[in-house]
Copies of this chain bind each other. A is one copy, B any other.
């Protein structure tokens, strides 16, 4: 009953477990890592002793020894203004965490306000050996991050980029355009001819992909965009763009937004102008955030399965970190979800 090394408040170490099981620390380690050759009885005795003491191997010690921390980084860029795409990240994180948790991995979350800060953060995370890899979101033109992470020797996965050969693997946004095309087709079927697009920041790659898809879909029908306006995803610019469209001569009868948050702002702006959605103006979003279905009218949007994208990114990154993961591809491409914010064109 008298534990010789019982110091209050101190976590048990591998030594305590070894002593309790009457073996060496090496044996304990082997029992936990399925490595050496231990008899089944000994192994069980060790595991029992460990669970009695409530012991798990110290993460820092194991990380030091193995040069692997079992944690991944996600850096979220949040401009000084409130980022409209916010709930988007909640969804993404949910998807990522769903894959990490069962494997005992942790997610280190950081918020930054700009590219300079973001890069400095990666430098520090890598230099300190705090993470085994990173998820990069919102691929930009001439994105310096993949090269940086490669130089730092940190595995990374890039989201929001067309699939092409590159320094780091990318996760399936090759068919982003398909969702937008479907949205345009839907609007055309409803008789809309003056359709505008409120896009994100031009330096983001998915902005270009979606914009191109938008324009192409109209061109195929022999039409041209009523307008394409770029924003920084802020509420201010979403409202401003919408207002500009409403003020235009022969205003558009339908507006497609690059994400749901802006679409919500757009609906508000249209209604505030005394117009009806979808009676006077139809609105389409992109993301399929839960939020969209709370509103009246419920938002018609493109479901890009953010959670699945997050999960896919996590699996890919885990495999880059040498983890065994069943390789399940991304399930399905973005699809239009028709709800109430779109209707027949007026007149």
Interface residue ranges, A against B (CB under 8 Å): 9, 11, 54-61, 63-64, 69, 71, 78, 82, 84, 86-87, 89-90, 93-94, 97-98, 101, 104, 106-111, 123-124, 126-130, 153, 235, 261, 264-265, 267-269, 271-272, 290-291, 293-296, 298
Contacts and interface: CB of A to CB of B under 8 A. Distances in A.
How many copies of this chain sit in the oligomeric assembly?
2
Contacts of A290: 82, 84, 86, 235
Contacts of A55: 127
A54 B127 contact: yes
6 contacts: A60-B60, A97-B110, A107-B110, A235-B294, A265-B294, A268-B298
Given A9-B153, A87-B87, A97-B110, A56 B235 contact: no
Given A64-B58, A64-B64, A267-B296, A11 B127 contact: yes
B78 A69 contact: no
Nearest to A100: B110
A127 B32 CA distance: 14
Nearest to A111: B97
A109 B110 contact: no
CB-based closest 8 A-B pairs: A60-B63, A56-B127, A271-B296, A268-B296, A59-B128, A60-B64, A109-B109, A97-B111
Given A56-B124, A56-B127, A264-B295, A93 B109 contact: yes
A226 B290 CA distance: 30
B129 A58 contact: yes
Contacts of A269: 296
A57 B106 contact: no
Contacts of A271: 296
A306 to B, nearest CB: 12
A282 B128 CA distance: 53
A60 B71 contact: no
A123 to B, nearest CB: 7
A63 to B, nearest CB: 4
Contact of A101 (B11, B94, B110, B268): B110
Contacts of A9: 153
Contact of A264 (B61, B97, B272, B291): B291
Contacts of A107: 108-110
Contacts of A264: 291, 294-295
A237 to B, nearest CB: 13
Contact of A129 (B59, B71, B110, B293): B59
A11 B60 contact: no
A32 to B, nearest CB: 12
Contact of A60 (B57, B109, B129, B298): B129
Given A60-B129, A97-B111, 12 more contacts: A9-B153, A54-B123, A59-B128, A61-B64, A86-B290, A93-B111, A97-B109, A107-B109, A264-B295, A265-B294, A267-B296, A268-B295
A84 B293 CA distance: 12
